[in-house]
Structure 1
Amino acid sequence: MKINSNYLKLENNYLFSTITKKVEDYKSKYPKKEIINLGIGDVTQPLPTAVINALHKAVSEMSSKHTFRGYGPEHGYNFLKTAIRTYYEKRGVFLEENEIFISEGANSDLGNILDIFSNDNTVLIPDPVYPVYMDTNIMAGRKIIFMCATEENNFLPMPDKNIKADIIFICSPNNPTGAVYNKDQLKEWVDYALSCNAVIIFDGAYEAYIQDRKLPRSIYEIEDAKKCAIEICSLSKNAGFTGTRCGYTIVPNELRFEGVHLNMLWLRRQTTKFNGVAYIIQRAAEAAFTEEGQAEISKFINYYMDNAKIICNTLQNMNIWFTGGENSPYIWLKCPKGMTSWEFFDFLLERANTVGSPGSGFGKNGEGFFRLTSFGDRKNVEIAMKKISSILI
């Protein structure tokens, strides 16, 4: 028996595990200190009432022989797929039911989707990057090329015609930088993918946070994107499903490589290696797409975006460069006073009792930058920003 030695090429510790360990060590030394966490992107607002009511109703159904549900379809119930189709139609994107696959969240599918591709493929990934893109490809032993995201290009790298890639990861709004591609920029990526005969894995987990209506919320708002792109979305950050777990992946029927429909391959993968999302969770997700559910979700998103404004205004007052915050719950700032990412982490933890995410944990180009999130409670955000202001001015 031999292990998969590619795992040995991974960093020893996942970024957020390292952050947790540092915070625990600090709290053990100073147990009376109250720590405000603006680092890990977990939501703090409870589930919408419409979602809770749907959960209760579905749980009650499971208590009756006449309405009990056992194994469901691995690709998801049609009632939820219909709700998602309607959601997209409002933005002029039309999907078929068999193109939508319900999952337990975007994070899983971002890694699992790679099962249907050869390990010989070359993968193009932005730097800095959400760690799952890189780690899952390292696990498979694929060749990785990094596209350079920097302050100079506002952390929105564009295609390089001198580079040939087979799989392209794009996240917009981006995690960790909060940067958002416009339609012309995404069109350029679609054209590049078509010219390379490549597939785009488009992470749209934060699409609901886009405030500017001119910016695309789906890759399929771009002409010909269905010929080259898979879109992966989540209900975690918009509907508060971080502890409930539900998302979806769209694999268009038009996606065809080497004479094979990728939709067929993904269906085969899911029916073999995935048992589907629980019925009660899918009913809850369906409720998130109702008129009532969407109204409540809008309030939650506005709450988090108001938090983002507080963070952004504080950084502007201190003349600290940043991106994100306007159409994203993430704020990506340049570490002040020439500090490294981890130096700034320790500085904030010790001097302001506030936790963020060091940019270097997201890639080489993240060094010297830092991620804050707007998912905290309003009071904590205000306290943290006052503390940060006092130690930096």
Structure 2
Amino acid sequence: MLPILLPTPQEENTAYKTQVSRNANIAKLEAGYLFPEIARRRAEHSQKYPDAQVISLGTGNTTEPIPEVITSAMAKKAHALSTLEGYSGYGAEQGEKLLRASIASTFYDNLGIVEDEIFVSDGAKCDISRLQVVFGSNVTMAVQDPSYPAYVDLSVIMGQTGQYQKDVEKFRNIEYMRCTPENDIIFFCSPNNPTGSAATREQLTQLVQFAKENGSIIVYDSAYAMYMSDDNPRSIFEIPGAKEIAIETSSFSKYAGFTGVRLGWTVVPKQLLFSDGFPVAKDFNRIVCTCFNGASNISQAGGLACLAPTGLKAMREVIGYYKKNAEIIVETFESLGFKVYGGKNAPFVWVHFPGRSSWDVFSEILEKTHVVTMPGSGFGPGGEGFVRVSAFGHRKNVLEACERFKQLYNI
């Protein structure tokens, strides 16, 4: 009988490795992306407290059903695909002509934006990635601080930044909205995620003027524009001269509950040119055609239904539901003596906990109330000392969470 040879400890730890080097830019990223990290901590909490009713007011994931006038249009399109007359395969990478025209007339009426400047996609987040490919690695990025984490992470992955500096919690070679003349690309979100604040017309006019004077390009994220209550611009193209220096990206996710359906768009005006005079839209179109086969024809049917009069009415009703949730959350924290921002022009409430670590407050709220929020520092160093509370949730859960907040902080 042959002896059984057991592997040595060294052999057990040896795994086959390819000769392909890891992308050094991805290796710069310090930790997991914020939202999966929150999901991981929530899962750990649920294991620790299996009987607790955990309420999520953390990620910006919508909770209310998509209006039937919209889903019925998608169902009709899906059923038509099972017939010879209704079947369609690949569509235009830029999106269906009728949908592009409808987006132009609904959101950019009288702003000079035409349908062939609109690129329909599978969501604003995906378009932000494609825009980074267009810009390449030899540019300097500026972001609001705090800001949506994807702006920074994608800049890192594209090689636009240096190493992470732990002492200041920032990456080298990325401007955290100091807006100095060396900035090439400026990411700007209004109404803002995570703070919920909205830029005024005067502020956006100054931003456009700055970009023009310094030859920069603004990537304007308007994903929450329909939540605006104040008389602030809903599009960067409301500002004179913006078509020469700005791109705008938006989404149906937070308007119609399309977080899982995936449908968005990006506007790249013909007047926007690189330093050599080449149109930015042509390069973006090339990237779209190379990396993308177009948004789902079923989701585009839903998008068309969203922009019909009945669809717009239904979307506004859902948005009103979330805005009421935000009002309840704001009133709760204000009654407890906290300084609160946002909640009026966006579905996010930004609560200040001065002198405290955002992650410590996040952990305290989760441990003692079983409510998931978002640590402000996860959106950038400027978010330290804040917690973001999302208004995306069922009303009964929002009310219950607010009662738990009152029990925790009503001293």
TM-score, normalised by the number of residues in structure 1: 0.94
**Gaps in structure 1 of 5+ consecutive residues:** 149-158
Q: 1:126 corresponds to which letter in structure 2? A: Q
Partner of 2:101: 82
Q: Given residue 329 of structure 2, which amino acid in structure 1 is its aligned partner?
A: I
SS at match of 1:328: coil
Specify the alignment match of 1:154 in structure 2. Answer: none
Correspondence for 2:399: 382
| Pair 1:175 & 2:193 matched | yes
Is the Cα–Cα contact under 8 Å of residues 244 and 281 in structure 1 kept in the other structure? yes
Work out which of the residue numbers 184, 188, 192 in structure 2 matches 1:166: 184
Given the alignment, which residue of 318, 329, 344 partners 2:336?
318
Equivalent residue for 1:59? 78
SS of 1:202 mapped into structure 2 = strand
**In the alignment, does 2:78 pair up with 1:49?**
no
Q: Is the 8 A contact 1:127 1:146 kept in 2?
A: no
CA distance in 2, matches of 1:28, 1:147: 37
Letter in 1 for 2:306: A
1:69-98 residue CA offsets vs partner (Å, 9 max, x unmatched)? 0110011010111110110244x3232221
Counterpart CA distance in 1 for 2:158 and 2:294 is 24
How many angstroms apart in 2 are the aligned matches of 1:195 and 1:145?
20
Residues 1-393 of structure 1: pairs in structure 2 closer than 5 A = 1-90=20-109, 92-143=110-161, 144-147=173-176, 160=179, 162-212=180-230, 214-257=231-274, 258-335=276-353, 338-393=355-410
Distance 2:61 2:328 in 1: 18
Q: How many residues align?
A: 379
Q: Distance in 2 between matches of 1:27 and 1:61?
A: 43
Give the whole-Å Cα distance in 2 for the aligned partners of 1:229 and 1:294. 26
1:283 is paired with a residue of what secondary structure?
helix
Partner of 1:153: none
Distance 1:383 1:163 in 2: 48
Structure 2: gaps spanning 5 or more residues: 1-19, 162-172
Structure 2 Cα separation of the partners of residues 66 and 386 of structure 1: 55
Q: Among the aligned pairs, what percent are the same residue? A: 38
Q: CA deviation at 1:15?
A: 1.1
Q: CA deviation at 1:216?
A: 0.5
Give the partner amino acid of 1:173. Answer: P
Q: Deviations over 1:222-258 (max 9, x none)?
A: 0000000000000000111001000000000000112
Q: For 1:163 and 1:335, locate their aligned partners in 2 and report how far apart those are by CA, in whole Å.
A: 33
8 Å contact kept, 2:136–2:158: no
SS of the residue 1:248 aligns to? strand
**TM-score, normalization: structure 2?**
0.90
Amino acid at match of 1:27: S
Deviates more, 1:2-11 or 1:286-295: 2-11
Q: State the distance in 1 between where 2:345 and 2:232 align.
A: 9
* Contact 1:219–1:225 under 8 Å retained in 2: yes
**CA-atom RMSD in angstroms:** 1.3
Deviation at 1:145, TM superposition (A): 2.9
Q: Per the alignment, in what secondary structure is the counterpart of residue 370 of structure 1?
A: strand
The answer to whether the Cα contact below 8 Å between 2:139 and 2:160 also exists between their aligned partners in 1 is yes
Following TM superposition, by how much is the alpha carbon of 1:146 offset from its aligned partner in structure 2, in angstroms? 2.9
- Partners of 1:248 and 1:38 lie apart in 2 by 26
Q: Which has the larger radius of gyration?
A: 2
> What are the Cα deviations for residues 43-77 of structure 1, in whole angstroms up to 9, with x where unaligned?
01111122111112111221111221011001101
CA distances 1:247-275 after superposition (whole Å, capped 9, x unpaired): 00000000011210011111111111110
Match of 2:164 in 1: none
- Which SS does the other structure have where 1:260 is aligned? coil
